[in-house]
A and B are shown apart, each in its own frame.
Chain A
Amino acid sequence: MELFKLIVEWLSILAIPVIILFFLGFGYVKKVKVYEKFVEGAKEGFNVGVKIIPYLVAMLVAIAMFRASGAMEVLTDIVKPITNLIGMPSEVLPMAIMRPLSGSGSLGVMTELMNNFGVDSLIGFISSTMFGSTETTFYVVAVYFGAINVYKTRYAIPAGLLADAAGLITAVLVCRALF
């Protein structure tokens, strides 16, 4: 595990410098006007950022309202009987609900849980595994579809949430088995 971590850490540090060097170097060899083309591509950056704004405002406002309203506790009470069946400690349920909604929110919940119950407790393990294994689905949907002005998302959210649920449940089962 130590070696694996070392390798991945070095890969992460090397990745960007190597990619930049490789792209530009390869482009130079292929006689691409690297500076000109870089600037041409980069121009689009601003448009993408601006295009996302309405989608992100809509999504983040709804999520912020949901969090501020105390709806979380209501939802926790509703889902609790189901999650008890798979042996999920009810303390980590808010983490599971928050994870697909908000990155900063779930970071806060995870930190609080580890503070209250101990970093190396079962609850600590489960909540940090949950944080490490899934993404904030709602944010990704808003940004990725927003960038290309797609508002009919079809089955993207249900499928994404189902994947999240599978990841969250697996986190509980694996942590219970290992720790």
Chain B
Amino acid sequence: MLNHIWLWMIILSILIAGGKDIYNEMTSDSADSEVVTDKNLNETTYLGKITNAVIESAGVAVKLAIGLIGVMALWLGLMKVAEEAGIIKIIARIVRPITRRLFPGIPKDHPAIGAMIMNISANMLGLSNAATPLGLKAMEELDKLNPEKGKATDDMITFLVINTSAITLIPATAIAIRASLGSANPQQIILPSIIAASMATIVGVTTVKIIQFVQNKRKRSQSVKNGGKA
């Protein structure tokens, strides 16, 4: 899936940029286009902009990843202590009634559950610096249960969808920008945001559960057929 999305995003970008450049070149009169060639083509053409964007974003990606290392180390260290002390297990036991249904593939008291709950709580409080390391810790634990490395499990996808539609109780960044632009009531978006995010979570979880149900059913009927033949 990602193979196609990724490839087509790149192909379409180049085709659209090229098309726009050709169109602009043809519609501008020849006198103008000579002036344009004097200018920096990197800034005046879409293909030039793409060239800049590719190089710049590759650097940004590395900076982002490196920037994660500090908080990542901090939280992995704290989580290790919590695991040894048995705190993660206690958290997992408390939330078991909910997680049992959401993540049927995870054994009870597994550390993945503790890490996931902490990640979701951090997201709710808007603590993104803590949320990402905790989420990655959860993914690592989920991967220990993964029979086919390199391929996402159902539980991973359920967790990811909950994560991307994360409910934040106070959308701090949006409020801060509203305040800086002189809003009469910057906090007015709190309730609408919570409603919208809840809806996203409900739709996301329902979607993955339907897909998982259909795929498991198909898998089961296939194994029955194979079993019959053998």
Q: Write the residues of chain A forming the contact surface with B, with a CB cutoff of 8 angstroms.
A: 1-2, 4-5, 8-9, 11-12, 15-16, 19-20, 22-24, 26-27, 29-30, 32, 34, 37-46, 48-50, 52-53, 56-71, 74, 100, 107, 110-111, 114-115, 119-120, 124-125, 128-137, 140-141, 143-145, 147-160, 162-168, 170-171, 174-175, 178-179
Whether the Cβ atoms of B79 and A159 lie closer than 8 Å is no
**Does B100 sit within 8 A of A, measured CB to CB?**
no
Please state if B163 and A140 are interface contacts (CB–CB under 8 Å).
yes
Q: For the complex, is B10 an interface residue (Cβ under 8 Å from A)?
A: yes
Quick one: given A68-B53, A69-B13, A114-B178, are A159 and B197 in contact (CB under 8 Å)? no
- Asked whether B22 is an interface residue with its Cβ less than 8 Å from the other chain, the reply is no
Q: Which of B19-46 contact A (CB under 8 A)?
A: 20, 46
**Chain B: how many interface residues by the 8 Å CB criterion?**
106
- C-alpha spacing A153/B185, complex, angstroms: 41
A65–B161 Cα distance when bound, in Å, is: 25
In contact, A110 and B76 (Cβ under 8 angstroms): no
Q: Taking A71-B13, A137-B164 as contacts, is the C-beta distance between A38 and B78 under 8 angstroms? A: yes
The interface residues of chain A, by DSSP majority, are classed as helix
Choose among A30, A67, A163 the residue that contacts B203 (Cβ–Cβ < 8 A): A163
The reply to whether B152 and A145 form a contact with Cβ atoms under 8 Å apart is yes
Among B80, B150, B201, the residue within 8 A (CB) of A151 is B150
CB neighbours of B95 from chain A (8 A): none
Minimum CB distance partner of B183 in chain A: A119
Within 8 Å CB of B87, what residues of A? 22-23, 26-27
B interface SS class: helix
Which residues of B have CB within 8 Å of A119? 178, 181-184, 186
Smallest CB-CB separation from A174: which chain B residue? B192
Cα distance A132–B195 in the bound complex, in angstroms = 11
Q: In the docked arrangement, what's the CA distance between A133 and B5, Å?
A: 24
A57-B164 contact given A68-B49, A151-B2, A178-B192, CB 8 Å threshold: no
| Distance between Cα atoms of A147 and B164 in the complex (Å) | 16
- Report the separation of the CA atoms of residues A8 and B187 in the bound assembly, to the nearest whole angstrom: 13
Q: Digit string of B39-77 for contact with A (CB within 8 Å is 1, else 0)?
A: 000000010011011101110111011101110111011
- List 8 tightest A-B contacts by C-beta distance, closest first: A41-B80, A132-B171, A45-B73, A163-B204, A167-B200, A42-B77, A64-B57, A166-B203
- B99 interface residue per 8 A CB criterion: no
Check B199 against A128 for contact (C-beta < 8 Å): no
- Nearest CB of B to A59, in Å: 8
Binds A, one of B101-109, B120-128, B222-230: B120-128
Determine if B94 is an interface residue (Cβ-Cβ < 8 Å): no
In the assembled complex, 17 residue pairs joining A and B whose CB atoms fall closer than 8 Å, in A order, are: A11-B125, A42-B74, A49-B68, A56-B65, A68-B13, A120-B188, A124-B183, A128-B189, A129-B189, A132-B168, A143-B132, A150-B146, A150-B149, A152-B151, A156-B152, A156-B161, A178-B191
